[in-house]
Structure formats: C-alpha cells, structure tokens
C-alpha cells in the first residue's frame, strides 16, 4: 500500500475509511505494519468500539507493544463518536481505530478536523453500504476478499488518483 498511496503511506493527521465487504476479511492486516512502527514510539493506539475483542497475544506476536494500546468499549453511538473525536484530538494517540455506526457527513468532518489537530491516523471501519456516501476522509478503501488476499479499490485519495484495484496478500 505504501508504494501506491500518494505520500508513501497512510495519510498522517487524517481520516482513512476502510469499507470491507464483510467483517473479518483481513482488514486489520492492512494497518498492522503501521501500528507496529507506531507502538515503538511514545504514542498510543486507541481501539474504539471494535466488533470483537482484539486478541492481545496476536498483537504482541506481530510486534505491537501492548502497553501502548487503549481499548475503549462505549455502549452508545454517541459515546463511540465522542471517544473517537477525543482520542483523535488528544495529540498522544498516533492511531485511532474506530467502528462507528451510521455517521453523517458533519460528524465525519469533525473527526477529520480532530485527526488534523492531534496529528493522528484515524482509521474508521465502516459498512460497504457507505461506499457512495460523501466523506471528508483523505483516503477511502473498499475491500473485497480475493483468494488468499484482498482487492483494495481506492474510492478516494487526497493527492492522487488510483483507478485499478490493488491486490494485496494478507
């Protein structure tokens, strides 16, 4: 992905929307290398409202420092969005991974501004139904399973345009 994306990787201080065709197709494996590098710094990695409990031994095995991981399990949609915005804006979180439900454009814009203010990677994992919804995110990816990998279609990319799907082995 780093070789294809403008700027050589995930957009810093910006939102990235990842829209997998269904949950659990390898969407987290896309961001793991970046999280590994980030966990060696002095910044936190926040997981907000993940659909499943992250498996700590697997994260540790791939090199993520568990002492730099925050897990936030809000009970309401409003609390999920509030926690996501606060973590992005905080300035101590290098990455925020969030699974919000039904987010409107205005809220996405607030999250984008919070990511800019906190200089954080904001990864939002959303439903594929949101593919045609407007978004201020710097990068939007639609993921489909493909044999032993993924086909990543870049729906939107600030600073460049990629039309062909990217085939990734995960």
CATH classification at residue 154: 3.40.50.300
Q: What is the pLDDT of residues 26-61, one digit of tens each?
A: 899 889 999 998 888 889 999 999 999 999 999 999
For the chain, the domain total comes to 1
∠ at Cα 15 (13, 20), nearest 5°? 145
Report the predicted TM-score, pTM, of the whole model to 2 decimal places: 0.92
User: Could you tell me if residue 88 is inside a domain?
Assistant: yes
User: Could you tell me if residue 99 is inside a domain?
Assistant: yes
User: Could you tell me if residue 165 is inside a domain?
Assistant: yes
Q: What is the pLDDT of residues 16-33, one digit of tens each?
A: 999 999 999 989 988 999
| Residues 88 and 122: beta-carbon distance below 8 Å | yes
User: Could you tell me if residue 111 is inside a domain?
Assistant: yes
Task: Record the tokens describing residue 77, joined without a space.
Answer: 């949609």
**What is the domain extent for residue 101?**
6-169
| Residues 14 and 139: beta-carbon distance below 8 Å | yes
User: Could you tell me if residue 1 is inside a domain?
Assistant: no
C-alpha distances (whole Å) from 144 to each of 9, 25, 66, 92, 133 are 20, 8, 29, 33, 18
Task: Record the tokens describing residue 52, joined without a space.
Answer: 């499943």
């Amino acid at each position: 992905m780093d070789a294809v994306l403008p700027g050589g990787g995930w957009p810093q201080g910006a939102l990235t929307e990842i829209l997998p065709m269904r949950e659990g197709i390898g969407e987290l494996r896309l961001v793991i290398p970046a999280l590994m590098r980030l966990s060696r710094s002095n910044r936190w990695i926040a997981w907000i409202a993940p659909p499943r409990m992250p498996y700590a031994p697997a994260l540790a095995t791939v090199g993520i420092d568990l002492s730099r991981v925050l897990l936030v399990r809000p009970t309401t949609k409003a609390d999920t969005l509030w926690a996501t915005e606060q973590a992005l804006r905080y300035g101590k979180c290098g990455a925020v991974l969030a699974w919000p439900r039904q987010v409107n454009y205005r809220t996405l814009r607030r999250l984008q501004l919070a990511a800019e203010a906190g200089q954080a990677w904001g990864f939002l994992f959303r439903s594929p139904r949101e593919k045609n919804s407007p978004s201020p995110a710097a990068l939007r990816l639609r993921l489909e399973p493909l044999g032993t990998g993924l086909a990543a279609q870049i729906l939107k990319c600030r600073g460049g345009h990629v039309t062909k799907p990217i085939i990734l082995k995960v």
